[in-house]
Structure 1
Amino acid sequence: MSVNPSAKSSVLEPIPYVVESTPFKGGHRQVFKEMTADELAFLRVKTDADRAGTDTVDAPSWTAVDVSAALDGDGPPMPTVFSREDGAHLFYAGKVHSVHGESESGKSWLVQCAVAQTLERGGSVLYADFEDDAASVAGRLLLLGVPKHVVVDPGRFVYVRPENSLKIPVEAAAFAQLIGRDFTLAVIDGVTDAMGLFGFSVKDNDDIAAFQREVPRAVARRTGAAVVCVDHVTKDADSRGRFAIGGQHKMAALDGAAFVVDVETVFAVGMAGVASVRVAKDRPGHVRNLGGAWRRADRTQLVAHLHLDSTNLDRTEWRLEAPENCRSASGGYLDRWSSSREANDGRVPPDVVHGAGQPVLGRDRRRE
């Protein structure tokens, strides 16, 4: 198989691929040969040109960057996707995030609440699901109040259930076509299963880096979406800290924020539950600024409580509440933090100090 890089088009054309005729009992079947790395790379850069409506592909990534243009912005981006009740947002457009927690911690519900909010506010969502199915996810969105005509509109909500690697040419072409448009939010639900499908090990940092480049970062870069990867944690609560299951590069590779979800009151049909949402990493730096006390043990801060009420079987009510002792969307601490100071005669409670403008548990680092 060969791809001619000189053949350029403003429309994504079917990518030619080679098939073999393989005998089996009763006849023959066609087997797809895998793309080479060079062919897959050309497909990706070609798709960028097609999306821009140009007749040329992107310049090589080692081309010098215009630093002056890069400095024309307003600094690190502000989060603009998925807001708490006070209006503070948690996800950054065009960045990759992680939401991880134990099974039944509420992590998928949290992300699906973000999907519902995005759709209700007129945005568009891509949902790549490696664990569940369309009926379950769409059913939850209906329970969360998203109108059915929005859920079934492919211009607003796109659901995919990949079961083959991007090394298969037709799958790579479908992926390129899928990310050839803009989205507000993109979800990759089931990172462990996704990496296995792609032949990557969750414990190998090189494999993690390759997966991040091929899928989450590609989606973020080409669609402009806030990409959220839903992941699991290890069984040992004492040793896992703030990390998802597998290699540490899962955290290091994120250019957005990472969140740990812990159930406080169990979720179930006919019940109301609560989960805590703690920020474990925030590369741009604007989400930690919304958090409460910094917990030294795992270096996380509480940024929200997810309240989910399924006592009405026909409708699931939810809200993302700002916790005590955190900054509001306007930049000031919430009243409860002020109240705690008043209860201590205007002094900061002895187990809490201020550091870098935030309440921090433990010693006062300014004196170290």
Structure 2
Amino acid sequence: MPRHRKPIAEQWPRHFALAGICLCAAALLTMIFSKQDALAGWLVGLVFWSSLPIGALALVMMMRIIPGAWNDLLAVQGEVAVLLLPLAACAALPILAGLTALYPWSGADAASAFRAIYLTPLSFIGRTALFFLTSGAVAFLLLRMPRPAIFVAPVGLIALVLLDSLIAVDWVMSLDPAFHSSGFGLYILSIQMTMALACLIIARLMPGAEVERVGLLGALLLTALLLWAYFSFMQYFIIWSDNLSPNVAWYQRRGAGLWSLTEYAIGVLQLGPAFLLLFPITRQNRRWLVALSMIVLMGKALETAWLVLPDASGDARISIPAAILAITGLGFLSVAGWRVGSRRNEMRRQSTASDRQVPA
């Protein structure tokens, strides 16, 4: 008897997952040439795509605290994105396994007693594990419990901001142990939330989806971009006004050569959409909003590379291709995981709705 093939709609997640695995393996195989540069490229992919579930978790908790029309528009997409947290945790494993090759402090003598305790591989791994365990627990309480306690969202949001600041310092800022910035964690969180919001808007405005208040989505994206601009500029302004040479050198490395052009590209790809979103004709048009969200994602990918590679990479000929492979591979896996997560989230919502029905 002839075998019945599964519909294409059921096959493409598997194809995406397989392509993602192959691309991620290719990114990690660049360690043959340089372990440090390959891990630097992988870190770019990790920081970029982990922003989706982390930023979405923050947005979902804010929706629970501040109900309104944006909850009806983005709650479902936000819950699906949160389900990608296990993928982000798995993507962090290569960094944890090879952190001695990537972070300069791992093989250097500590400058102070605090650094001797804080900047060690064991504590680094412990903080990363604590972050994902806490985030996973909060996500479970929000999404899996039939009626999560009212304090879960506010307490979880505070815990996420604090732990995410630690992760931002560990994953990115500690690539240069001489660099210090008290606002770096909030700056990274603004990147994560903006990136997550852009992805949720694209998912919400897929062809065939009925959306009544498109302008509200545009206003949310504009708000996120303005918040990002504030945190990024204030950090830059404070560091340069103090004229502290270790911190200024961090910006100088990112303002030389290829990275100076990347700075301008980041500004255009972020502030350009923000400017266009000021106009109702753009903000309320779904095609424009999808296009601008994609442009914002391109800017965030460049910004992630701009944050990581100048300190972590010694040979851009290896780290940049590794970053492209990692971003693309983790992107394919995220899309496949999104499809699986959307099915499970729909089943959970249907089960919850049926449990809440009062029998006649």
Give the TM-score range, shorter chain.
Answer: under 0.3
Larger Rg: 1
Structure with more relative contact order (C-alpha pairs < 8 Å, separation 6 or more)? 2
TM-score by length of structure 1 reads 0.22
Relative to the length of structure 2, the TM-score reads: 0.23
Q: Which has the higher strand share?
A: 1
